[in-house]
Amino acid sequence: MPHPFSMMVAGQAVSGLRRGGNGPRVLALHGWLDNAASFVPLAGHLPDLDLVLLDLPGHGHSAHLPTGASYSTPAAICHVLDVADALGWDRFTLLGHSMGAGIASLTAAVSDRVDRVIAIEALGGLRGPDDEAAQRLRDHVEAMRGMATKRLRVFPDLAAPVRARMMVNQLSAESARLLVERGVREVPGGFSWCSDPRLMAPTAIRMSEGQIDNLLQAIACPVQVIYATPAQAYYPEPLRTDRLRHLRDGRLAVLPGTHHVHMESPAAVAEVISRFLESVATARCG
């Protein structure tokens, strides 16, 4: 079982879960509004990895960004590299789910420190149509300026947030509780989400598909993509599979399941990951 850790990274308190091993160094990045517990079921099926499950800024037990700072992809990439520095890791593998898979793949596009990428349910990030740019930026600014008056909902117990995660993400009660228990804090009257409310604001600017293609083409390391079927509405076929053609060394595995396939079918996902890591190691030795 991974154990909790915390450290200071670039002046920010960072938390997560860690499980040591003699295998490859793997930094795991969770999805939007999830936390390090997202990878706990998977960790049990990958016992040899030196595994760090990170709470990204504003999520789980990690600190919120300072007032005036923005949650953006470039900032997330810098944060990942800062965490690797703090761990003393020169080279490492990135494992990401959803938003975390987007961050992992784009980090590999700009840094040769990434040995391998394992991207679950995303690759490159969400695109933004050109004709939505002005409205998206307007919505972001309005949402951010309204955060000062936003009040957090208080739950008397964990039953309601667990049910909410089950319904929204098609999660089992066990998986939903893992995320909720690390995603809430005790407050007077019960519990509230501990994630930064600013994470709920619409993304200010999204890249075009052409920009995403260019970044995927820049990834030099091997990439294992894992998709669940059926595809999510916001990341449909054939778009999601077509993105693999831009990778220099990409492999695809499609497994039956929901968006959190790594939590609901951890053994199947771990088998894909193990085969990938073994094949890359064998190719390098050969």
- The pLDDT value recorded for residue 172 is 97
- H-run or E-run covering 12: strand 12-19
- The pLDDT value recorded for residue 152 is 82
- H-run or E-run covering 228: strand 223-229
- The pLDDT value recorded for residue 5 is 97
147 φ, ψ to 5°? -65, -30
Picking from 152, 183, 151, 148, the residue whose alpha carbon sits closest to that of residue 68 is 148
Per the prediction, the chain carries an average pLDDT of: 95
- The pLDDT value recorded for residue 249 is 98
Determine how many CB atoms are found less than 10 A away from the CB of residue 36: 29
- The pLDDT value recorded for residue 151 is 78
Tokens of 168: 């929204």
Sites in the chain below the pLDDT cut of 50? none
Phi-psi bin for 124: left (phi > 0), alpha (psi -120 to 50), beta?
left
Distances (CA, A) of 255 to 72, 199, 227, 272: 30, 29, 6, 10
- The pLDDT value recorded for residue 286 is 61
- The pLDDT value recorded for residue 146 is 85
- The pLDDT value recorded for residue 237 is 96
* Strands annotated E in 57-156: 92-97, 114-120
Radius of gyration of the chain (CA): 18
